[in-house]
Chains A and B, each alone.
Chain A
């Protein structure tokens, strides 16, 4: 009886050991597969992380580009605004371009030819001598002459607008040669296309 009991115990032990072994193998496999699963998760996480990083980088680049574009736009705006200070001037009752006027128009044309997104309005003005109506026509001629010259330098007609204010918007309202010379002018407004 005692011997039988020992055999049973031994058998049970063997069985349990083999079970342990078997189950150990099984456990090992499960762990392994778990590990693989874990690896996959990690790699997914790593991809997400790199995506996030690259998005952030892209955003930075975009931000940088936007900043750059903004700076560029600001630079262009400043350059465009500078043309407001570059009136061209005319002799009394004349609308032909002086050499100074051609030089300034050359600068404007070269700038516009590089900046396709911009257009120009040319305002023609006169001094206050002579009739208002004739001066409206004269101011228009002054603007149109500058427009033709810009077109001859390759600027598309559609980018150039003209308007005459005749003698109605003098820079200097005084009645003397200095004021008159200042007032006989084309004024340029360079603006970004809408």
Chain B
């Protein structure tokens, strides 16, 4: 985990109107939600920059692309800008807001930076261009290499001010990267940057599952021949084998306290769901059915478990309580529904279901109501996983003979494909981390 010790936040100078008043500009969950039209002109050099280092365009571009991938902003093209940027300033007094409102930019971010020989100081200001007032402003100090962290921090502030909730800029996605006949576990940042190869077994490694604190990933690997279950400490790389019964040893979902993992074991010749208690190593069997029972997922409060079973003839989603009692069937439409993932607010479950011969992502209320199809892509969608704020889903989609990891907004809009990684032919089985406090 990267610590930015030198990064200080100074927010006294700027009035933080929306956060202070608790005003949320627009409810992004509303069906009528329109993206925030936002302009970000080049940042101002406020002096003393090291020669050869021009960050004016860099800050504007970075903040633009970061906010754009949230799916909540419509970025106004720089070609449309009317303001003479060489003359305009970055404070309310120095801005003619009609230059911005007239080109359809309801919101505006301005900023500037300076260097005192040791630290980089960067100011960010978010304005309501219609009202002509400051919404929020922050000033950050840090080393030059912390500048991306500053951008991510202010992107978070911007979302908080406009929507009442910050972003998921400090989260990562774990997934399986196939390289020929072997596959390894990878992680990548929310914005598709900084891919990291977590395992290097040159074997089949599958089903990564983040622990709730983001420190560990459980996964299955064939590195010893059998599909055994391992837990890797992401920072140190220390790996522990936690289950190696004959047959399948699949991790599925961590408990909030990190002490239990829901698992699928087939040691008795039949795939059933168990709780593995990591402290004692003991097993608690939850299902005992002749059918296939797989893919268990805990509700956020840990009181319920959704899972897949073909006990009624085809794979369908079922819900039971945390002791394995009171099993009820959740999905009735379609002949193949699997891979459930409980939303962070506990109200709904995302899953993949077959639709016209192709798999797509759906969500359904915890009570079985409000069924919604979220993806309509040609390549379909499989293995959904929620972002910790519940605003996004990550899943895999097929194209020709490849699979790619994609992100959509929870309402199904703004599909984004994570970038290709060198040496990785195909990516699948994504798992979204909790907040990792990276910045």
Q: Check B401–A137 contact: CB distance below 8 A.
A: no
Are A93 and B336 in contact, with the CB atoms below 8 A? yes
Tell me, rounded to whole Å, the shortest Cβ–Cβ distance linking B222 to chain A. 8
Known: A140-B247, A140-B266. A133 touches B315 (CB 8 A): no
A181 to B352, CA, bound (A): 21
B401 close to A173 (CB less than 8 A): yes
- Report A147-165 CB contacts with B as 1/0, cut-off 8 Å: 0000000000000001111
Complex CA distance for A129 and B359, rounded to whole angstroms? 7
Partner of B428, one of A132, A140, A173: A132
- Report A188 CB to chain B, min CB distance, Å: 17
Separation of A192 and B401 alpha carbons in the complex (Å): 36
Q: Is B60 located at the chain interface by the 8 A CB criterion?
A: no
- By beta carbon, the residue of chain B nearest A92 is B336
Q: Does A65 contact B (CB under 8 A)?
A: no
CA distance A162 to B270 in the complex (A): 13
- Cα separation A93 to B247 with both chains bound (whole Å): 19
| Least CB separation from A138: chain B residue | B292
Residue from A136, A140, A144, A175 in contact with B401 in the complex, judged by beta carbons closer than 8 Å: A175
CB contacts (< 8 Å) of B183 on chain A: these are: 168
- Please determine whether B338 and A136 come into contact, CB atoms closer than 8 angstroms: no
Q: Is the CB of A130 within 8 A of B206?
A: no
Shortest A160–chain B CB gap in Å is 12
Is A131 in contact with B271, judged by CB distance below 8 angstroms? no
Assess whether B400 is in contact with A130, with CB atoms less than 8 Å apart: no
Residue of A nearest to B358 (CB): A129
How far does the alpha carbon of A168 sit from the alpha carbon of B250 in the complex, in Å? Answer: 14
A140 pairs with B271, CB closer than 8 A:
yes
Q: A93-B314, A169-B181, A173-B401 are known contacts. Are A137 and B248 too (CB-CB below 8 A)?
A: yes
Closest A residue to B272 by beta carbon equals A137
- Chain B residues whose CB sits within 8 angstroms of the CB of A162 once the complex forms: 247
User: Which residues of the other chain, A, contact B181 by a CB distance below 8 angstroms?
Assistant: 169
Residues of B within 8 A of A168 (CB): 183, 204, 206
Given the known A-B contacts A130-B338, A131-B352, A175-B398, are A137 and B292 also in contact in the complex, defined by CB atoms under 8 Å? Answer: yes
Any chain B CB within 8 A of the CB of A67? no
Q: How far is the CA of A110 from the CA of B398 in the complex (A)?
A: 42
Chain A residues at the B interface, C-beta cutoff of 8 Å: 93, 128-134, 136-138, 140-141, 144, 162-166, 168-169, 173-175
Please give, as numbers and ranges, the residues of chain B lying within 8 Å of A129 by CB-CB distance. Answer: 354, 359
Choose one: A131, A141, A165; the contact of B382 (CB below 8 Å): A131
CA distance A130 to B294 in the complex (A): 12
Q: Which 6 pairs from chain A and chain B are nearest by CB?
A: A173-B401, A131-B339, A137-B271, A131-B338, A137-B292, A133-B294
Please give the distance in Å from B412's CB to the nearest CB on chain A.
20
Q: Is B383 an interface residue (CB 8 A)?
A: yes
With A93-B314, A93-B315 given, is the CB distance from A130 to B204 under 8 Å? Answer: no
> Across the interface, do B383 and A134 meet the contact criterion of CB distance under 8 Å?
no
Chain A residues whose C-beta falls within 8 Å of the C-beta of B269 in the assembled complex:
144
Q: How far is the CA of A128 from the CA of B401 in the complex (A)?
A: 10
A-B pairs with beta carbons under 8 Å apart, 21 shown: A93-B310, A93-B315, A93-B336, A130-B315, A130-B336, A130-B338, A130-B352, A131-B295, A132-B206, A133-B295, A134-B292, A136-B248, A137-B264, A137-B271, A138-B292, A140-B247, A168-B183, A168-B206, A173-B401, A175-B398, A175-B400
How many interface residues does B have (CB within 8 Å)? Answer: 39
Query: B residues near A, CB below 8 A?
Result: 176, 181, 183, 204, 206-207, 222, 225-227, 247-248, 250, 252, 264, 266, 269, 271, 292, 294-295, 308, 310, 314-315, 336, 338-339, 352, 354, 359, 382-383, 398, 400-401, 403, 428-429
Closest CB in chain A relative to B311 CB, distance in Å: 12
By the criterion CB–CB under 8 Å, are A134 and B339 in contact?
A: yes
- A93→B357 CA distance, assembly (Å): 13
| Chain A residues with CB under 8 A of B176 | 132
Q: Which residues of A have CB within 8 Å of B264?
A: 133, 137
Chain B residues within 8 Å of A134, by CB: 292, 294-295, 308, 315, 338-339
**List of B residues within 8 angstroms of A130 by Cβ:** 315, 336, 338, 352, 354, 359, 382
Q: Closest residue of chain B to A129, judged by CB? A: B359
User: How many angstroms between the C-alpha atoms of A163 and B338 in the bound complex?
Assistant: 22
Q: Are B227 and A164 in touch, CB under 8 angstroms?
A: yes
- Point out the residues of chain B lying under 8 angstroms from A173, CB to CB: 401
In the complex the two chains form, what is the Cα distance from A128 to B428 in whole Å?
A: 11
A175 neighbours in B (Cβ, 8 Å): 398, 400-401
Q: Complex formed: what's the CA distance from A175 to B398 in Å?
A: 8
Roughly how many angstroms separate A166 CA and B271 CA in the complex, as a whole number?
A: 13
- Cα–Cα distance between A175 and B426 once the two chains are bound (Å): 13
Residues of A within 8 A of B314 (CB): 93
B429 touches A132 (CB 8 A): yes
Q: In the complex, what residues of A have CB within 8 A of residue B383's CB?
A: 131-132
- Would you call B227 and A141 a contact (CB within 8 A)? no
Contacts of B207 in A (CB 8 A): 132-133
